[in-house]
Amino acid sequence: MAQWVTVWRAAQLVGVPRGVLQQRVRSGEIALADGLISTETLLALYPQAQLEESGMLERVVQIRDESFGKRLRERVLPSQEVMAQRLFRQSQELADVQRHLQRYHALVIALRDRLREAQTQAGGGDPRLAALQRQLNDGLAHALATEPVDVLDVMDDLLKVVSAQVTVRPSGRQFTVEGHDSLLQAGMKAGLKLNYGCGNGSCGMCKVRVTDGQVVRCMHSDYALSEPEKAHGYVLACAHTAGSSELTIETLEASGPDDIPVQQIVTSVRAVRALAPDTMLLHLQTPRSHRLRFLAGQWVTLGLAEGEQGVRADHPVASCPCDDRNLHFFVPRSANDALAARLFAGAVKPGDAVTLWGPQGRFVLADDESHPLVFAACDTGFAPVKSLIEHALSLDAAPSITLFWLATRADGHFLANQCRAWSQALDPFEYSLSTHDDPGTGASQMAAAIRADLFDIDCAFYIAGPQAFVSTLSAELAAAGVPASQLHAEVTS
Ligand code: FES
């Protein structure tokens, strides 16, 4: 018999991005019931999800095209304590189901005996009792018959032990907790904008209320919840992980840049490295107890030493908000940027203090963005675009992601290897690199390429780079009919 699973779990079971299933739901290929997909429908659409004939683990869980068993083995498993707790909960549910089944079985057998007695008392000739007896016996035979196991159900049960599924209310968003991650870490890796502060159990800002399921403490915390908070099920998301395979929590998420406070943090330089003759990577690390909460695509102001007003510059964060301690910046050589001058002169060394103010900016993924995504960058406009792409990949909700990257210098594609790695590892990711020394002309050529490749698709566009690039490409896309709500742009230098 078919089971019903969430879209999130279904995507994990058949090994496709969640956005692909959501698109099939929107096109009517998949019908949802209460937001759930039947495993029968999944098997019909993804018939490669079948039992293999050989191997032990593989006999149960291998998918022919993309090995589920391999994916399972590659995961970092939770701690023994967490696994034991999840198995215990699953065994409890199983025991409950078994107990109910035994009671139903006893009830049906008693009913069959009473029918037999009644038929005997009636002299054996009552046709209505005979029909009832036949129906009962046929029903029992059908219920007790051995049917082939639904492979997706088996895989789902296995996944429930190694990765718990969390539903967030009231948004309804879902994420999975893998390995040793806390609820906060797992939620951030999945691209959720959860509320938090220190990340180490001392501020209390990550409080969530558990409304269904169990949690396990995974880290010491100094922050003390009040007795009423504990009684109402509040826990610290940064210090707890899922103790049951399914968990529902209540918490408010940021809906956009206005919900992210501006912070001031003294970071230290972890590394300074040339990515190309005219582009430096600046890697900053925040203190463990004071991380930067930001949205992908936002920028910050960097100052070389607290109080040094002269050496300040604004730069977009190039890394993913899911790693809020390690912040990357791509700094181009520029006569107008005193910070860049110090970096290129070799005056900034690992261990130096850099003060950071921010985040700022509204160049972020639209809330609940579900269009195919097209990113267009020019030179170091790739920095916020990289952060956005990593965030979109975490969300796993976009049906496809396409990157167009224009370089106005010969060495402008300073992370082409990163693009190649994404495209090799991810089905829905494609990229195109182009070069032109004039950003406006390069943007026009890019617009022509976008029209040729993607224009019949209803995409959302995220554009970053110098003014001439951004204004030309935005104007050409708008003139071609892209609605303003699907055009997002940021001038970066
Ligand atoms: S983020 Fe500060 S206690 Fe969890």
Looking at residue 147, what is its pLDDT?
Answer: 67
Q: How many CA atoms lie within 13 A of 1 on its CB side?
A: 3
The string of DSSP codes covering 197-245 is SSSSSSS-TTEEEEEES-EEE-S---PPPPHHHHHTTEEETTTEEESSS
Residues 6+ apart with CB under 8 A from 28: none
Residues 6+ apart with CB under 8 A from 296: 317, 320, 321, 364, 365, 384, 387, 388, 390, 391, 392
Looking at residue 60, what is its pLDDT?
Answer: 40
> Are 40 and 49 spatial neighbours (Cβ–Cβ below 8 Å)?
no
**Residue 93 one-letter amino acid:** E
- Which atom belonging to ligand 1 lies closest to the Cα atom of 237? 4
Distances (CA, A) of 473 to 87, 92, 387, 423, 487: 54, 59, 21, 24, 10
In this structure, the residue with its CA closest to atom 1 of ligand 1 is 199
Secondary structure E strands in 126-178: 164-169, 174-177
**CA pair distance 220, 225, nearest whole angstrom:** 13
Residues 6+ apart with CB under 8 A from 241: 78, 82, 164, 177, 180, 181, 182, 183, 186, 215, 216, 218
Q: Is 188 in the pocket of ligand 1 (CB under 6 A)?
A: no
* Torsion angle of the four alpha carbons 390, 165, 149, 35, in this order, in degrees rounded to the nearest 10: -90
Q: Is 197 in the pocket of ligand 1 (CB under 6 A)?
A: yes
Q: Is 206 in the pocket of ligand 1 (CB under 6 A)?
A: yes
**CA pair distance 4, 39, nearest whole angstrom:** 6
Distance from the alpha carbon of residue 301 to the mean position of ligand 1, in angstroms: 25
Distance from the alpha carbon of residue 202 to the mean position of ligand 1, in angstroms: 6
Q: Is 187 in the pocket of ligand 1 (CB under 6 A)?
A: no
Best mutation site among 185, 188, 192, 205 for ligand 1 pocket (most ligand atoms within 8 Å of CB): 205
Look up the CATH number of domain 373-491. Answer: 3.40.50.80
Neighbours of 363 (CB within 10 A): 24
Secondary structure E strands in 286-362: 299-303, 312-316, 326-332, 353-360
Give the three-state DSSP class for 327.
strand
Residues 6+ apart with CB under 8 A from 351: 268, 269
Per-residue pLDDT of the chain (493 residues; tens, 9 = 90+): 567 777 777 877 777 777 778 778 877 888 888 778 888 888 888 876 643 333 333 434 444 445 556 655 556 678 888 888 888 888 888 888 888 888 888 898 888 888 888 888 888 788 888 888 888 888 888 877 766 666 667 777 777 778 899 999 988 888 989 888 999 999 998 889 899 988 889 999 999 999 999 999 999 999 999 999 999 999 999 999 999 989 999 998 888 899 999 999 999 999 999 999 999 999 999 998 889 999 999 999 999 875 555 789 999 999 999 889 999 999 999 888 989 999 999 999 999 999 999 999 999 999 777 788 999 999 999 999 999 999 998 887 788 899 999 999 888 899 999 999 988 877 778 999 999 999 999 999 999 999 887 666 688 999 999 999 999 999 999 998 899 999 999 999 7
- Which atom belonging to ligand 1 lies closest to the Cα atom of 204? 3
Q: Is 238 in the pocket of ligand 1 (CB under 6 A)?
A: yes
Distance from the alpha carbon of residue 235 to the mean position of ligand 1, in angstroms: 10
Percent helix / strand / coil, the chain, rounded to 5: 40, 25, 40
Q: Is 199 in the pocket of ligand 1 (CB under 6 A)?
A: yes
Distance from the alpha carbon of residue 75 to the mean position of ligand 1, in angstroms: 26
CATH architecture of 261-360: Beta Barrel (2.40)
Angle at 213 between CA 211 and CA 218, to 5 degrees: 105
> Are 76 and 179 spatial neighbours (Cβ–Cβ below 8 Å)?
yes
As given in the structure block, the two tokens for residue 4 are 């019903």
Q: Is 377 in the pocket of ligand 1 (CB under 6 A)?
A: no
Residues 6+ apart with CB under 8 A from 19: 370, 396, 397, 398, 399, 400, 428
In this structure, the residue with its CA closest to atom 3 of ligand 1 is 201
DSSP character for 51?
-
Write the class of the CATH domain 163-250.
alpha beta
